[in-house]
């Protein structure tokens, strides 16, 4: 992606970001200006820690043009391969093995201009580092630095599937053979993009994109390749710089602590109106968990062993007419894991929490339009979506270097078909993304990953919320308030039209206003009956 966007800056050997932070603009930023305006900055030191960036910030016009701390660190903690003979190799991501480095201040991707990255994007500050390893003493030996004169040689890396030929010598014959050593290349790029409203299917959210990519390629067939990426948000809502006209009152409804929530999209479409998917949590999500943290444990995000099917009786949903819960099946598609996305953001709070205690008004989780200081990571969207930016990978590719093709299949995971992904919370605001490519199907090491082909990890990237379409969200708030009146749901003394936290609260909670106490009248729209079933595969 980095190489497709433009020419990189020429750097001194130390390899630090050569560009200053973008200036916080004065006055209002309209939609046309937002798509062209630089918003991102980060720190990077190729001479010390080439595998990580720190102090990632974004200017958010939806947060009073504050320079928000999106991540304290994003690090590629490891990369590795397993040879076809079964030797596991960890590849050191240290300056010793650094071959190339570069930075972009800005760039552009046209629609369909790249096979791997066909979506249009205005590229913001980005970096790329490339590591190389020769195993002259065999796969079990320590790696050597690739000589500089080898980088431009014709046989530096074979064409896809063309690993060095095997030589057969008959009895009594002699031959002089120069064996090419196992050679592995790891490319880490960290690419950001300016605001666009194409991250989610409804076009409500203007988001700045972030792609922490890892590519691994070898000159021999390999059984596996893998990478681990650690995303660390600050523990609390943090603003680095603010413009003098910054109005903190727009954040008075926010708690400071940053939390995380996991969601699985519902593969059965439930509409609010013709062509409009319902945003209520019981309709939009198959299930969810809020306030996840290090005790949550590792969860399957993408699983090649999942063949698809339905999980019976693990979830119940509220019938708003009867105020009773009914069981609902949970359909899964092939390769779908337990969850499809994670939101890492502060919660909201309502001043009505003191008047109506114990009903969730003090910690309101933002979904599906997580807009305030929210980092979204989606690796799959529901099967009902019809716009290309949320489509997943196909298993067929027109490029022999890549296993499959992105943005092709509705409801499919947004990772190559030979990969599994596990997500592990390391704190309430941080997670580790572990991805592994195995052979050609994600399960069997044979047939192997062909020589000269890429394993690409975290292709779908992340998105940081910058703005929300006011016209669309005002219409939705009106519908939410009207439904609450029509269904006689709890009043709680506020409306979604006038009080943003109530929007999110009503999407999760319902009930009946006739009961005398809050505990009686407020009901969560969805309940988990069997977490164990939902964490397991639907297929046998």
User: Confidence band (pLDDT; 50, 70, 90) for 220?
Assistant: very high
Average pLDDT rounded to a whole number, residues 210-223: 97
Average pLDDT rounded to a whole number, residues 152-175: 75
Residues 6+ apart with CB under 8 A from 154: none
Q: Which helix (H) or strand (E) holds 286?
A: strand 285-292
55 pLDDT above the threshold of 70: yes
pLDDT tens sequence across 343-401: 999 999 998 887 788 889 999 999 998 889 999 999 999 999 999 999 999 988 888 88
Average pLDDT rounded to a whole number, residues 202-208: 92
209 pLDDT above the threshold of 90: yes
pLDDT at 176: 56
pLDDT at 249: 42
Average pLDDT rounded to a whole number, residues 495-503: 91
490 pLDDT above the threshold of 70: yes
Higher pLDDT: 229 or 490? It is: 229
Residue 342 backbone class (left: φ over 0; alpha: ψ -120 to 50; beta: rest): beta
Residue 213 in contact with residue 189, Cβ under 8 Å? Answer: yes
* Nearest C-alpha neighbor of 356 from the set 152, 153, 513: 513
Query: Residue written as tokens 């990237």?
Result: 461
Taking the C-alpha atoms of residue 502 and residue 366, their distance in angstroms, rounded to an integer, is 10
Residue 105 burial (C-beta neighbours within 10 Å; 0-12, 13-18, 19+): middle
Taking the C-alpha atoms of residue 13 and residue 80, their distance in angstroms, rounded to an integer, is 26
> What are the structure tokens assigned to 37, written together?
């305006």
- Helical H segments across 189-339, by residue range: 281-284
Residue 72 in contact with residue 55, Cβ under 8 Å? Answer: yes
Average pLDDT rounded to a whole number, residues 7-27: 71
pLDDT tens sequence across 70-105: 999 999 999 999 999 999 999 999 999 999 999 999
Residues 6+ apart with CB under 8 A from 220: 83, 84, 163, 164, 182, 183, 451
Average pLDDT rounded to a whole number, residues 233-237: 95
Residue 404 backbone class (left: φ over 0; alpha: ψ -120 to 50; beta: rest): left
Whole-model pTM: value is: 0.93
Average pLDDT rounded to a whole number, residues 488-515: 88
| Share above pLDDT 70 across residues of the chain, in percent, rounded to a whole number | 92
Higher pLDDT: 263 or 472? It is: 263
- What rounded mean pLDDT belongs to the chain? 90
Higher pLDDT: 407 or 487? It is: 407
Phi first, then psi: what are they for 79, rounded to 5°?
-145, 145
Q: 3-state class of 457 per DSSP?
A: strand
Task: Lowest mean pLDDT of 55-64, 89-98, 167-176, 449-458, name the range.
Answer: 167-176
Average pLDDT rounded to a whole number, residues 16-38: 89
pLDDT at 123: 96
Residue 508 in contact with residue 363, Cβ under 8 Å? Answer: no
Higher pLDDT: 176 or 293? It is: 293
Triad 470, 472, 475: Cα angle to 5°: 105
Taking the C-alpha atoms of residue 103 and residue 276, their distance in angstroms, rounded to an integer, is 41
User: Confidence band (pLDDT; 50, 70, 90) for 430?
Assistant: very high
pLDDT at 14: 46
pLDDT at 397: 84
pLDDT at 75: 99
User: Confidence band (pLDDT; 50, 70, 90) for 275?
Assistant: confident
């Amino acid at each position: 992606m980095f190489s497709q966007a433009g020419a990189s800056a020429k750097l001194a050997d130390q390899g630090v970001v050569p560009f200053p932070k973008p200036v916080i603009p004065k006055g209002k930023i309209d939609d046309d200006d937002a798509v062209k305006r630089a918003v991102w900055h980060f720190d990077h030191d190729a001479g010390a820690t080439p595998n990580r960036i720190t102090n990632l910030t974004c200017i958010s016009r939806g947060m009073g043009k504050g320079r928000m701390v999106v991540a304290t660190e994003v690090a590629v903690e490891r990369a590795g391969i397993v040879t076809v003979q079964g030797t596991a190799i960890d590849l050191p991501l240290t300056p010793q093995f650094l071959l190339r480095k570069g930075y972009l201040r800005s760039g552009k991707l046209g629609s369909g201009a790249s096979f791997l990255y066909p979506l249009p994007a205005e590229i913001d500050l980005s970096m790329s580092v490339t590591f190389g390893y020769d195993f002259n003493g065999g796969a079990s030996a320590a790696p050597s630095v690739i000589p500089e004169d080898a980088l431009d040689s014709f046989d530096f890396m074979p064409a896809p599937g063309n690993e060095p030929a095997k030589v057969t010598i008959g009895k009594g014959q002699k031959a002089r053979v120069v064996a090419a050593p196992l050679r592995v290349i790891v490319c880490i790029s960290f690419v950001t993009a300016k605001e666009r409203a194409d991250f989610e299917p409804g076009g409500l959210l203007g988001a700045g994109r972030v792609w922490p990519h890892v590519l691994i390629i070898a000159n021999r067939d390999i059984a596996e390749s893998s990478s681990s990426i650690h995303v660390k948000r600050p523990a609390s809502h943090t603003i680095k710089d603010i413009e003098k006209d910054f109005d903190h009152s727009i954040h008075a409804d926010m708690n400071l602590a940053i939390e995380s929530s996991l969601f699985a999209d519902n593969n059965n479409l439930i509409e609010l109106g013709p062509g409009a998917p319902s945003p209520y949590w019981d309709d939009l999500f198959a299930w969810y968990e809020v306030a996840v943290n290090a005790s949550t444990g590792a969860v399957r995000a993408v699983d090649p062993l999942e063949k698809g099917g339905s999980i019976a009786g693990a979830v119940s949903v509220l019938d708003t007419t009867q105020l009773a819960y009914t069981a609902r099946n949970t359909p899964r598609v092939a390769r779908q894991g337990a969850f499809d996305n994670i939101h890492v953001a502060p919660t909201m709070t309502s001043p009505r929490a003191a008047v109506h205690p114990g009903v969730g008004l003090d910690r309101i989780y933002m979904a599906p339009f997580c807009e305030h200081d929210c980092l979204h990571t989606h690796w799959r969207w529901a099967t009902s979506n019809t716009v290309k930016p949320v489509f997943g990978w196909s298993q067929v590719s027109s490029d022999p270097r890549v296993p499959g093709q992105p943005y092709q299949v509705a409801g499919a995971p947004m990772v190559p078909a030979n990969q599994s992904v596990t997500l592990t919370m390391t704190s309430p605001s941080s997670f580790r993304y572990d991805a592994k490519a195995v052979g050609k199907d994600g399960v069997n090491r044979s047939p192997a990953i062909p020589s000269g082909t890429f394993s690409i990890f975290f292709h779908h990237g992340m998105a940081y919320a910058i703005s929300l379409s006011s016209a669309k969200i005002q219409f939705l708030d009106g519908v939410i308030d009207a439904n609450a009146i029509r269904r006689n749901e709890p009043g709680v003394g506020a409306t979604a039209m006038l009080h943003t936290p109530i929007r999110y609260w009503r999407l999760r909670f319902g009930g009946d206003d006739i009961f005398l106490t809050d505990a009686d009248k407020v009901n969560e729209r969805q309940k988990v009956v069997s977490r164990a079933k939902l964490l397991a595969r639907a297929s046998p």
